[in-house]
Amino acid sequence: MAGHSKWANIQHRKGRQDAARSKLFSKLAKEITVAAKMGDPDPEKNPRLRLAVKEAKAKSVPKDVIDRAIKKSQGGDAENYEEIRYEGYGPNGIALVVEAMTDNRNRTASNVRSYFTKSGGDLGQTGSVSFMFDRVGEIMYPASVGDADTVMLAAIEAGADDVESDEEGHWIYCADTALNEVATALEASLGESETAKLIWKPQAPTEITDLETAQKLMKLIDALEDDDDVQNVTGNFDLSEELAAQL
């Protein structure tokens, strides 16, 4: 099983302590506001907004929070957020891509640099690590939707490029530009997915084998994810289930 779903499962387990729940809600609401401001406030006419709303619902964001975020985008007082990508190396040379949305570029850059430095990592230039990842669409279904062959067939018919399945679920990958189209086609055959989003998929994840490196890396990722300006953090690493259980 490729590393991504294991990492996804670990992230899911980390969500167990999401006292960062309200922080997660505000990040998802920010994406909805930006998506609605950039395009049509109707999710049916705005693919990015449709996917943002879908992701928010999957994370149990209340409907009134979603509606408020869309309404906010149409007001004159909506903040102007800039989308920025940071790239760098964490402990043991693990490559990290950090996606941020900010109304103050200097503050965000200073904070992100500080997190990397404190962890013994190194913030690089844009493009310094992203070549180790593919920008793709990822659609996730629970294992209960069907066996691997059924999902693979549905994915191929929907125009997807790849499927990874294990006992936890099915991860379907497609071109970044085809995400809305493939997700919509899959809904017709498999029903509504749990999530559908753009991700940075590591091409060749590095296996982490020692606990100390894993702890340092998770500390850096937690610090980054805890920052209000940071939307997503992705690393090109894989952890064994045994190591993950010790974190």
> In the prediction, which pLDDT does 11 show?
54
Cα separations in angstroms, 216 against 87, 113, 132: 17, 16, 21
- pLDDT for position 5: 45
User: In the predicted model, what is the mean pLDDT of residues 56-77?
Assistant: 85
Q: Is 143 helix (H, G, I), strand (E, B) or coil?
A: helix
Q: Over the stretch 173-186, which tens digit does the pLDDT of each residue have?
A: 999 999 989 999 99
DSSP count for the chain of H helices, then E strands: 9, 10
Measured between alpha carbons, how far is 98 from 145 in angstroms, rounded to an integer? 32
CB 32 within 8 A of CB 66: yes
Q: How many CB atoms lie within 10 A of CB 246?
A: 10
Whether 15-74 shares its CATH topology with 133-202 is answered no
Task: Give the pTM.
Answer: 0.84
pLDDT mean over 52-63: 88
Cα dihedral: 43, 44, 46, 48 (round 10) = 60
In the chain, the amino acid numbered 60 is S
Domains of the chain by residue range: 15-74, 83-131+203-245, 133-202
| Residue 106 structure tokens | 């200097």
Q: Provide the mean pLDDT of the chain.
A: 86
Task: Indicate the CATH number of 133-202 among 3.90.550.10, 3.40.50.300, 3.30.300.180, 3.30.70.980.
Answer: 3.30.70.980
C-alpha triplet 192, 198, 200: angle, nearest 5°: 135
- Tell me the mean pLDDT in the region 162-171: 90
Q: Hey, is 92 helix, strand or coil?
A: helix
CA distances from 161 to 136, 164, 192, 212, 233 (A): 10, 11, 19, 36, 23
| Fold entry, domain 83-131+203-245 | Alpha-Beta Plaits (3.30.70)
pLDDT score at 18: 52
Maximum Cα–Cα distance across the chain: 51
> Is residue 2 very low, low, confident or very high in pLDDT (cuts 50, 70, 90)?
very low
31-45, 114-128, 179-193: lowest mean pLDDT where? 31-45
> Looking up tokens 């950039």, which residue turns up?
38
Is the distance from CB of 200 to CB of 135 less than 8 angstroms? yes
Cross-strand bridge partners of residue 202: 133
210-239 residue pLDDT tens: 888 888 998 999 899 889 999 999 999 988
pLDDT digits (tens, 9 = 90+) for 88-104: 999 989 999 999 999 89
Domain 15-74 has CATH 3.90.226.10: no
Q: What is the pLDDT of residue 38?
A: 84
Pairing of strands 206-208, 237-239: parallel
